[in-house]
């Protein structure tokens, strides 16, 4: 006999359902007066360091139609590559930048939009730098467990080529599903749940 | 305040046999919304090990009181008054303190307060249906509400959701992010529901069913249900390579 290995099992996920807004962005769903503002709508205040950018995209289903009831969250480092998190042990992140944003898909167009800053580079475990990136988490009706992926930046070709995560993608043409396309100060990033352009999702 | 340093290890690999599959055709919406290619499996980096943490300053006094946070003139909603409480732990059994929990639900008649909701059951003028709280030093949380009603949904011709409360949780790392649903002990609709059945393991489904907790009921006031939630656990970093200065 051995001692029992006493670990718990992670609580199973369930779909966020069609009314995820009630809990996560109640003001957006027309439920006003409970919380003063929806969390995650504002990622930076005036003093925040770094280049202001906009990330804009849609979540597309297997027919190519935009999903109109998704909730997208992003998490990213500040301009110096530090995370505004108690588990960040490398230094103090910019106090004027939360690093976390939440946006429901527009109920008509399906578009999500984040006003943020371009993140700095963050080291991989072995010390190599990862290319600048934003982590995304997507939930919606019909999605049984939240989907995690990353957006990299189309104007960071050199850093992207050396990125320790991107090099792990076996089918090289799929790397492009993780690159936001720059146009001025905006990056467009559509997330394809299925099909030839299916976004690379992470189990991480 | 404790002076214990926050833990910085990567999270245990997610047990994808315990978690629901993405493609569960009896839940029809999943058919076109489930990735079909393999996930890219990787050990967590700083981008996943870190995560946003929220302070108590975001909370209003009534945020965990759904009986009063939408009340008009102090009137409370119709329905069975309940307290929901429990602890948030990680897979190692370590309490997750300071975790933001958001919850939302239908009213006692099974109706959600949402622009897009059209079910014929009436809205309750005193019930909004959303709340939030942050776990204490022991990972504990509680809120009070009314027991939500079951409701029909367009999947099969006659599919009904068992009574449930939706939960959204933030741990200390972004890869702990979780959305789930709590069900109520003894509800026969649980075992008929295609959304519940997206989970293949019966023991995993049982983990979502909150027992009636008479020890925490408030006499002449509210029944209570206990719902513990487990987030992914962190590896110890004791023997992991660290660069100088880290
Ligand atoms: Fe629901």
pLDDT tens readout for residues B218-235: 999 999 999 999 999 999
A33 touches chain B (CB under 8 A): yes
Sheet holding B178-184, edge to edge: B130-134, B100-104, B164-169, B178-184, B209-210
**Contact state of B39 with A140 under an 8 Å Cβ cutoff:** no
Chain A residue closest in CA terms to B182: A14
With beta carbons under 8 A apart, name residues in chain A contacting B13: 203
**What residues does each domain of chain A span?**
14-192
Instruction: With beta carbons under 8 A apart, name residues in chain A contacting B104.
Output: 19-20, 22-24, 26
Domain ranges of chain B: 29-231
Say yes or no for a CB contact (<8 Å) between A11 and B229: yes
End-to-end CA distance of chain A: 34
According to CATH, the topology of domain A14-192 is Protocatechuate 3,4-Dioxygenase, subunit A (2.60.130)
Q: Say how far apart CA A177 and CA B228 lie, in whole Å.
A: 38
**Non-local CB neighbours of B163 within 8 Å, separated by 6+ positions:** B147, B148, B149, B150, B183, B184, B187, B189
Span B29-231 CATH architecture: Sandwich (2.60)
Tokens of A55: 């990330």
Q: What is the pLDDT of residues A146-179, one digit of tens each?
A: 999 999 999 999 999 999 999 999 999 999 999 9
User: Which residues 162-201 in chain A show a CB within 8 A of chain B?
Assistant: 165, 168-169, 174, 193-194, 198-201
The whole model's pTM is what?
0.96
Q: How far apart are CA A67 and CA A65, in angstroms?
A: 6
Two tokens at B162?
A: 């068992």
H-helix segments, chain A: 20-24, 157-162
Give the integer Cα–Cα distance in Å for A76 and B27.
Answer: 33
**In residues, how long is chain A?**
204
Task: Note the pLDDT tens digit of each residue in B14-51.
Answer: 999 999 999 999 999 999 999 999 999 999 999 999 99
The pLDDT profile of chain A, 204 residues, written as one tens digit per residue, is 899 999 999 999 999 999 999 999 999 999 999 999 999 999 999 899 999 999 999 999 999 999 999 999 999 999 999 999 999 999 999 999 999 999 999 999 999 999 999 999 999 999 999 999 999 999 999 999 999 999 999 999 999 999 999 999 999 999 999 999 999 999 999 999 999 999 999 999
């Amino acid at each position: 006999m051995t001692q029992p290995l006493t670990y718990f099992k992670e609580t199973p996920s369930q779909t966020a359902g069609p009314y995820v807004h009630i809990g996560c962005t109640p003001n957006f769903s027309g439920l006003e007066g409970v919380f003063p503002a929806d969390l995650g709508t504002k990622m930076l205040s005036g003093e925040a360091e770094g280049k202001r950018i906009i990330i804009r995209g849609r979540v597309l289903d297997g027919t190519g139609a935009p999903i109109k009831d998704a909730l997208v969250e992003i998490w990213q480092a500040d301009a110096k590559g530090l995370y505004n998190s108690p588990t960040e042990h490398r230094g103090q992140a910019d106090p004027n930048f939360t690093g976390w944003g939440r946006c429901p898909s527009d109920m008509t167009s399906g578009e999500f939009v984040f006003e943020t800053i371009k993140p700095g580079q963050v080291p991989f475990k072995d010390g190599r730098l990862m290319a600048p990136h934003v982590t995304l988490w997507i939930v919606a009706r019909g999605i049984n467990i939240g989907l995690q992926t990353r957006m990299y930046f189309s104007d960071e070709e050199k850093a992207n080529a050396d990125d320790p995560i991107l090099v792990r993608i076996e089918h090289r043409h799929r790397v492009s599903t993780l690159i936001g396309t720059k146009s001025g100060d905006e990056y467009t990033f559509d997330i394809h749940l299925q099909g030839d352009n299916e976004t690379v999702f992470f189990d991480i | 305040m404790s002076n214990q340093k926050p833990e910085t290890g990567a999270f245990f690999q997610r047990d994808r046999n315990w978690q629901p599959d993405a493609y569960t055709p009896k839940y029809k919406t999943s058919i076109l919304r489930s990735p079909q290619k393999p996930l890219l499996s990787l050990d967590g980096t700083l981008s996943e090990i870190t995560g946003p943490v929220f302070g108590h300053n975001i909370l209003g006094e009534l945020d965990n009181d759904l009986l009063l946070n939408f009340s008009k003139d102090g009137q409370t909603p119709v329905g069975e008054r309940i307290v929901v409480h429990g602890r948030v732990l990680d897979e190692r059994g370590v309490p997750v303190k300071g975790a933001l929990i958001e919850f939302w639900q239908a009213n006692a008649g099974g109706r959600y307060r949402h622009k897009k909701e059209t079910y014929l059951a009436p809205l309750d003028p005193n019930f909004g249906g959303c709340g939030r709280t942050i776990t204490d030093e022991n990972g504990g949380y509680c809120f009070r509400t009314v027991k939500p009603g079951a409701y029909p949904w367009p999947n099969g011709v006659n599919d009904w959701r068992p009574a449930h409360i939706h939960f959204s949780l933030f741990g200390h790392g972004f890869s702990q992010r979780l959305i789930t649903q709590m069900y109520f002990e003894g509800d026969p609709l649980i075992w008929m529901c295609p959304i519940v059945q997206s989970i293949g393991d019966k023991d995993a489904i049982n983990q979502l069913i909150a027992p009636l907790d008479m020890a925490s009921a408030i006499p002449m006031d509210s029944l209570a249900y206990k719902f513990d939630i487990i987030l992914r656990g962190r590896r110890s970093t004791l023997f992991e390579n660290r660069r100088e200065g880290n």
